Amino acid sequence: MAKATIDYSILDKFNFETPPVGIKFTVQRPAGIARIKEKMTLCEMLKHAQTGNVFHAEMADHTCDAGAYVLGQQDLEKPYTNGEYGAGLQVFDSPRSGARLYQHIYKIDKGIINYVAFAPLDKLTFEPDLLFIMASTTQAEIILRASSYKTGDMWLSKYTAAMGCSWLFIYPYLSGEINHITTGLGFGMRRRRMFPEGLHMISVPFDKIKPLLDTLAVMPWVPEPYKENGLEYVKNLRIRLGLEEPS
């Protein structure tokens, strides 16, 4: 795997309570990164990395069919795809609603990803395909504003009632779009009590990582209108632009 060459030090200014995590999808076994010692779900692997662990996982290490499915490492049995399982979990009112879920899910084609490597930011030794950030609302506002500061891009939050791993791991990777969700919304993560509620999980794909970091280095994190004299600043701006008469 290519070694990490991006400078992530700007993220230190956030003092995140939970460290960001880099993730790499590979065909070949990641050199120099040990295999995970216990089997777990894909979202549990993310949490495992957030607590300081560096590891890689392969198909046999997944305990959740959904995670292995969106990674293209296995097919799903009919009770999943026909909606019976989702209805049985009370996520949907009927199999027909549960089956519709699979019209939205993003997944990797089979045979493309055999391994997934995880590392917290301070132990990152590879160029990640995804950068996961767990942020408070204030921190998330800065990051999302940076994502549109130079481009005017929309802020996207795409999610489904179940199989949230598709939107956190696969959708950003395939689409090139930064995605964000609020903890406590995802069915599987919620029932496993995976993360505290009300935090923002931001998934940044590889081609957006460096532009985001570069923008964070030059963008004002606290714009003048947010400051104590914000109302006066906005009033003066409106006067200067001819939108308001001086008082």
Which pairing describes strands 130-135 and 55-58: parallel, antiparallel, or unpaired?
unpaired
pLDDT value for 186? 86
105: in domain: yes
Give percent helix, percent strand, percent coil of the chain, each to the nearest 5: 40, 15, 45
pLDDT value for 2? 65
Q: CA–CA separation, 73 vs 29, rounded Å? A: 14
87: in domain: yes
17: in domain: yes
Could you list the residue range(s) of the whole structural domain that residue 38 is in? 9-240
163: in domain: yes
Q: CA–CA separation, 3 vs 122, rounded Å? A: 14
Number of domains in the chain: 1
Q: Which H helix or E strand runs over 107?
A: none
Q: Which residues of 147-166 are buried (b: 16+ CB within 10 A; e: fewer)?
A: bebeeeeeeeeebbbbbbbb
pLDDT value for 61? 96
In sequence order, the 6+-apart residues with CB closer than 8 A to the CB of 103 are none
Q: CA–CA separation, 103 vs 106, rounded Å? A: 9
pTM of the predicted model as reported, rounded to 2 decimal places: 0.94
Q: How many CB atoms lie within 10 A of CB 179?
A: 23
Contacts by residues 4-9 (CB-CB < 8 Å, ≥ 24 positions apart) = 4/124, 4/125, 4/126, 4/127, 4/128, 5/127, 6/127, 6/209, 6/210, 6/213, 7/213, 8/121, 8/124, 8/213
Helix (H, G, I), strand (E, B) or coil at 97: helix
Q: Are 120 and 49 in contact (CB under 8 A)?
A: yes
- Which residues lie across from 182 on neighbouring strands? 200
246: in domain: no
188: in domain: yes
4: in domain: no
Please, what are the averages of pLDDT over each run of 10 residues along the chain (247 residues)? 82 97 96 96 96 96 93 93 95 96 94 95 96 98 98 95 95 97 91 92 98 98 96 96 92
109: in domain: yes
The torsion angle over the Cα atoms of residues 11, 194, 29 and 211, rounded to 10 degrees, is -30
pLDDT digits 0-9 by tens, 90-141: 999 999 999 999 999 999 999 899 999 999 999 999 999 999 999 999 999 9
Instruction: Using CB atoms within 10 Å of the CB of residue 223, give its burial: 0 to 12 exposed, 13 to 18 middle, 19+ buried.
Output: exposed
- State the angle between helix axes of 137-149 and 206-218 in degrees (0 to 180), rounded to the nearest 10: 100
